[in-house]
Structure 1
C-alpha cells in the first residue's frame, strides 16, 4: 500500500500535496490529492523511507523543530499546510463527490437535467420583520462541485431582517454538504407540489 503512495509521489501522479498537522509531528500526514481520492501517508514513514531517520513520538515540544525541518528541508515539492479538521472535511467532500458520480450514472436523463438546473432550491421560507419572505432552509451548489444545505440558526439575524443580531460570534446559517440523491428527492417533491 505504501509503495503505491511512493510511486504516485515520485511520478507526480497527484494534483495537490498537503501537509496535515495533527498535534504532535508523529501524527502528521502527507496527503496526495488525485481527482477521486486523498492518499495519506504518516510523516514517520515518509521521513524513514526518504531520510532514514526516526520520528518515534518522543520528540520534545510536540516535535515542532522536526516539523519545521520536514516542511522546509525534506519536502521538495510545493505543498499546502492544513489541520486535521480541514483534512477530514476534505475527505468527506471527496467521498460525497465519488458517491455523487456513482449516483449520477444510475439516474435518468430527465432527473439529471432537474439536478443540473438547480441553482438555488428553497426548502422553507419565513417572513421577516419587513414582511419579506426569506429562505430559512435552502440548497445551492452544482453537480460538479457538490450541493450544500443552508439552515438558518439565528432567529434574530439583522442580515436577513429578523432582528438586531450582528451574528459576529456565530453563523447566521449552518452549511452542510447534502447528497445529490437527497437534493433530487427534495426537488422532485417540490416540483410535484407546484
Structure 2
C-alpha cells in the first residue's frame, strides 16, 4: 500500500514526465503509468478508480469493460495522457531499462571506449548480397549514447526495397528492431575494429 501512496503523491504533485494509460484486454487489467526520468511507476486502474471515485472494477464488467474504460479515459483522468497497448508498454520499459544500464555502464568505461561509442552511429554486423550483387546490411546497430542503441535484424529475406525479392513488406516489418545495451555495442565495435 505504501507504493500506491507514493504513486498518488507523485500523480497529485505532477511529479512525472509523462502519463500513460496502458490497455491490456479487459479494463480490470489496465494500468496507469507515471514516467519519470529513470523509471515507470504503475498503478492498476481498479485501484485508481476506487481511490478517487469510490467505485469498484472487479473484472465482471461486460464487453471487456469498454464502457468503463471510456469513462475512465474521458471523465476520470483529468491530466493529458497517451494510450498504449501492453506490447508498446513492454517495449518502452525495455528501452528505458537499456538506457539506465547504459548510463551506469558509461561511468565505468575509459575515455577511449566512450569516444568509440560516441562516434558510432551505424555499425554493420552482417551483410547479405542482394540479387543485384550489392552488399546490404542484414544485421546492424544504430543509435547513440543519449538515445540508446538498437539492433536491426533482417526479418524479410525477400524485401523488394533492399533488392532481395518481390515482397513489399506491407503486412510485416523489413527489420526487427530491439534495444541493445551500450556494453554489447562496445564489445561488437571493439571486435569489428580488431578485425579491420
- Shorter-chain TM-score: which interval? over 0.9
In structure 2, the partner of 1:123 is 125
Aligned match of 1:105 in 107, 116, 120?
107
| Distance in structure 1 (CA, Å) of the matches to 2:11 and 2:185 | 36
In structure 1, the partner of 2:47 is 45
In structure 2, the partner of 1:179 is 181
In structure 2, the partner of 1:18 is 20
| Distance in structure 1 (CA, Å) of the matches to 2:58 and 2:167 | 49
| Distance in structure 2 (CA, Å) of the matches to 1:155 and 1:26 | 41
- How do 1:1-194 residues align onto structure 2 when only pairs under 5 Å count? 1-194=3-196
Q: 3-state DSSP class of the match of 2:79?
A: coil
Task: Answer yes or no: is the 8 Å Cα contact 2:155–2:175 preserved in 1.
Answer: yes
Aligned residues: 194
Runs of 4+ in 1 over 4 A off after TM superposition: none
- 1:64 Cα deviation (Å)? 1.3
- 1:47 Cα deviation (Å)? 0.8
Q: 3-state DSSP class of the match of 2:55?
A: coil
After superposition, the C-alpha distances for 1:41-70 in whole angstroms (9 at most, x for unaligned) are 001111111111111111122111111111
- 1:25 Cα deviation (Å)? 1.0
- 1:174 Cα deviation (Å)? 1.5
- 1:84 Cα deviation (Å)? 1.0
Of 166-175 and 61-70, the range deviating more from structure 2: 166-175
| Distance in structure 2 (CA, Å) of the matches to 1:89 and 1:189 | 28
Question: Given the two structures, how large is their TM-score scaled by the length of structure 2?
Answer: 0.95
Q: 3-state DSSP class of the match of 2:165?
A: coil
After superposition, the C-alpha distances for 1:87-133 in whole angstroms (9 at most, x for unaligned) are 11111111111111111111111101100111110111122222221
